Structures are given as C-alpha cells and as structure tokens.
C-alpha cells in the first residue's frame, strides 16, 4: 500500500510538472508570436513610410521639373521679345525717311513781303524730322543748311540710300491773292509705289491739325521729286505765301509746328496701316 501511495504521489507530481512545463511552453510561444507580430508590423510601417517618402520625393521632383520648364519658357519669351525689339530697331535704322525742304541757296522759291519760301520750307522740314525721330523713326533732311542742291541730285541720293519714303515741302503762290489752303502732289502713274495713299494721309492729317482749307490731291507724273524717286513720294504745298492771312500764320512757330505734326502724323499712319 505504501509503495502504491508513493507511486501515485510521484505520478501526480510528474503530471503537475508536465502541466507546468506546458504552460511555460505556451507562454513562450505566445511571447514569440507577439514578437513576430510586432516585428512584422514595424517592418510594414517602415515599408509604408518609405513608399510615402519616395512618392513625396517624386512629387517634389515633378514640381521642380515643372518650375524649371516654366522658368525656361519665361526666359525664352523674354529672349524672343528682346530679339523682336532689336529687329524692329534694325529695320527702322535701315529705312530712312527723307524730308526735303524745297529750294535753297540761290534758289529761294517764291517771295512775298520779304518772306522767302526756302526758309519756311526748311523750318517746317526740320520740325518734321524732329517729330519723326521722337516717334522712333530714322529721318533725314535732303539739304542740311541753306545750300543749293539740284532737285534731281536730292532724289538720286534718296534712291541710293534706298530710303523708305520721300516727302518734299513747299509753299505755294497765286496771282489771285485770295487763294489759300493745302494741296499735295504725287505721281499716280506708278501705282506700285503707293504714293497716292501717302499723299492722301499727309493731306488729311495736315488739314486736321491746322483747320486750313483742303484744296486738292494732284496726280502729276512730270514732277521730278515724285516721279524720279524709287520709293513712295509726295510733295506738299503747306500754304500760299501770296495770301496775307496764310503768310502771317506761316511765319509763326506755332502754326509751322501744327503743319509738322500733320505731316509726321500722316507718315506714321501710312507706315502703320495697310490701306
Ligand atoms: Zn516751291
């Protein structure tokens, strides 16, 4: 009986020990599973963070590329604009407008009340050149001072320079002292030169500026300055020195400046409209 009781006790203890060992084992397994789960979760989070970081980096790079593209486009536009400006300037520098003060030197033109036509022509022409230069055009006088220059020589010089336009300025006279007003002459036989439109715009703008009488546009193929020039050309008679009222206006700077504004304005309109 004693041995049997001892045997039973020993068996119970072994069972208790086995149960205890099983609990420990279970505990260890649970801890291992937790460790594995935590490790996997941590790795997954790191991987997610890396993907997010890479995505953000790619987005940032895309923004940089886009910004660089915009910068390049703006730079190109600025270069184009600068280049266009240079072209326009060069084009204007190559194309000179010749303003011809009629007569000069020993050739005074008509004279009334000691007022000599060549002087009035020169004063108006110089003001036209000044106005055109203010507007950005290249402009020159056909004679610089009070010298005699043959009409044909003036035109041939303009042709050699391949001038853009040729505008001659004169004063008119008439036996009938009541006649007054502005008239413009051109050669209508050469329609390719477009001189008619130039004459019409200069006539229109000088009359508008001065309120003078608008007489007529005259097409005349025998006039040297308009027929021998290879560019669009016209000759404007800005007033009658034989008419006292008009002569008294022509000797004032104020009236001559209005005439010059009209001539320069007509030239500007001609160069900036197609018809
Ligand atoms: Zn004249």
* pLDDT interval class at 90 (50, 70, 90): very low
- Write the CATH number for 103: 3.40.630.40
C-alpha 236 – ligand 1 centre gap (Å): 9
Kindly state the tokens that stand for 7: 């045997």
C-alpha 118 – ligand 1 centre gap (Å): 7
Distance CA 88, CA 94 (A): 10
Compute the average pLDDT of residues 46-52.
78
pLDDT of residue 92: 45
C-alpha 72 – ligand 1 centre gap (Å): 59
Q: Are residues 82 and 100 in the same domain?
A: no
C-alpha 172 – ligand 1 centre gap (Å): 7
Q: What is the largest CA-CA distance in the chain?
A: 174
Q: Are residues 105 and 227 in the same domain?
A: yes
CA 242, 227, 247: angle at the middle one, nearest 5? Answer: 15
Q: Are residues 56 and 107 in the same domain?
A: no
pTM, two decimal places: 0.67
Span 62-88, pLDDT tens digits: 766 666 665 665 555 555 544 444 444
Compute the average pLDDT of residues 197-213.
98
Compute the average pLDDT of residues 37-50.
76
C-alpha 272 – ligand 1 centre gap (Å): 29
Kindly state the tokens that stand for 45: 């989070």
**Better-predicted residue by pLDDT, 5 or 91:** 5
Span 142-199, pLDDT tens digits: 998 999 999 999 999 999 999 999 999 999 999 999 999 999 999 999 888 899 999 9
Q: Are residues 104 and 166 in the same domain?
A: yes
Q: Compute CA 87 distance to the chain's CA centroid, rounded to the nearest angstrom.
A: 10
pLDDT of residue 85: 43
Q: Which domain holds residue 84?
A: 1-94
> Which segments of 84-212 are extended strands (E)?
96-101, 111-112, 115-116, 138-141, 165-172, 182-186
**Better-predicted residue by pLDDT, 206 or 85:** 206
The burial class, CB within 10 Å (0-12 / 13-18 / 19+), for 43 is exposed
Q: Are residues 114 and 22 in the same domain?
A: no
Tally the domains of the chain.
Answer: 2
**Better-predicted residue by pLDDT, 269 or 2:** 269
C-alpha 104 – ligand 1 centre gap (Å): 10
Contacts of 141 (CB under 8 A, 6+ apart): 98, 99, 100, 101, 122, 125, 126, 129
Q: Are residues 171 and 44 in the same domain?
A: no
C-alpha 103 – ligand 1 centre gap (Å): 6
pLDDT of residue 271: 97
pLDDT of residue 40: 73
Q: Are residues 11 and 134 in the same domain?
A: no
* pLDDT interval class at 35 (50, 70, 90): confident
C-alpha 170 – ligand 1 centre gap (Å): 4
Consecutive H or E run containing 52: helix 2-94
Where among 94, 123, 153 does a domain terminate? 94
pLDDT of residue 140: 97
Kindly state the tokens that stand for 121: 């022509």
Distance CA 73, CA 90 (A): 25
Distance CA 167, CA 77 (A): 38
C-alpha 270 – ligand 1 centre gap (Å): 24
* pLDDT interval class at 5 (50, 70, 90): low
C-alpha 127 – ligand 1 centre gap (Å): 18
pLDDT of residue 156: 96
C-alpha 175 – ligand 1 centre gap (Å): 15
Q: Are residues 230 and 115 in the same domain?
A: yes
Span 14-24, pLDDT tens digits: 888 888 888 88
Consecutive H or E run containing 214: strand 214-219
pLDDT at 213 over 70: yes
**How many Cβ atoms sit within 10 Å of the Cβ of residue 124?**
28
pLDDT at 45 over 90: no
Where among 94, 126, 157 does a domain terminate? 94
238 and 232 Cβ atoms separated by less than 8 Å: no
Compute the average pLDDT of residues 214-241.
93
Where among 94, 116, 131 does a domain terminate? 94
The backbone torsions φ and ψ at residue 237, rounded to the nearest 5 degrees and listed phi first, read -100, 105
96 and 164 Cβ atoms separated by less than 8 Å: yes
Distance CA 85, CA 228 (A): 34
CA 80, 86, 92: angle at the middle one, nearest 5? Answer: 135
């Amino acid at each position: 009986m004693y041995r049997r009781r001892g045997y039973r006790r020993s068996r119970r203890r072994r069972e208790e020990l086995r149960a205890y060992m099983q609990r420990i084992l279970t505990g260890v397994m649970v801890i291992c599973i937790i460790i594995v789960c935590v490790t996997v979760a941590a790795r997954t989070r790191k991987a997610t963070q890396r993907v997010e970081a890479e995505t953000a980096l790619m987005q940032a790079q895309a923004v940089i590329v886009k910004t660089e593209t915009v910068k390049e486009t703006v730079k190109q536009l600025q270069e184009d604009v600068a280049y266009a400006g240079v072209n326009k300037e060069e084009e204007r520098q190559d194309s000179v407008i010749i303003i011809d003060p009629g007569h000069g030197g020993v050739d005074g033109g008509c004279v009334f009340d000691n007022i000599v036509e060549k002087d009035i022509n020169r004063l108006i022409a110089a003001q036209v050149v000044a106005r055109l230069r203010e507007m950005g055009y290249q402009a020159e006088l056909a004679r610089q001072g009070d010298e005699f220059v043959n009409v044909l020589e003036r035109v041939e010089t303009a042709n050699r320079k391949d001038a853009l336009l040729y505008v001659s300025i004169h004063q008119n006279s008439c036996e009938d002292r009541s006649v007054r007003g502005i008239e413009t002459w051109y050669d209508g036989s050469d329609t390719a030169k477009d001189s008619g439109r130039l004459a019409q715009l200069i006539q229109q703008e000088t009359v508008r500026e001065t309120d003078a009488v608008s007489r007529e546009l005259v097409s005349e193929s025998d006039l040297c300055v308009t027929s021998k020039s290879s560019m669009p050309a016209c000759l404007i008679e800005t007033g009658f020195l034989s008419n006292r009222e008009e002569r008294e206006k022509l000797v004032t700077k104020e009236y001559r400046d209005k005439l010059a504004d009209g001539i320069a304005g007509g030239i500007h309109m001609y160069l900036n409209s197609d018809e």
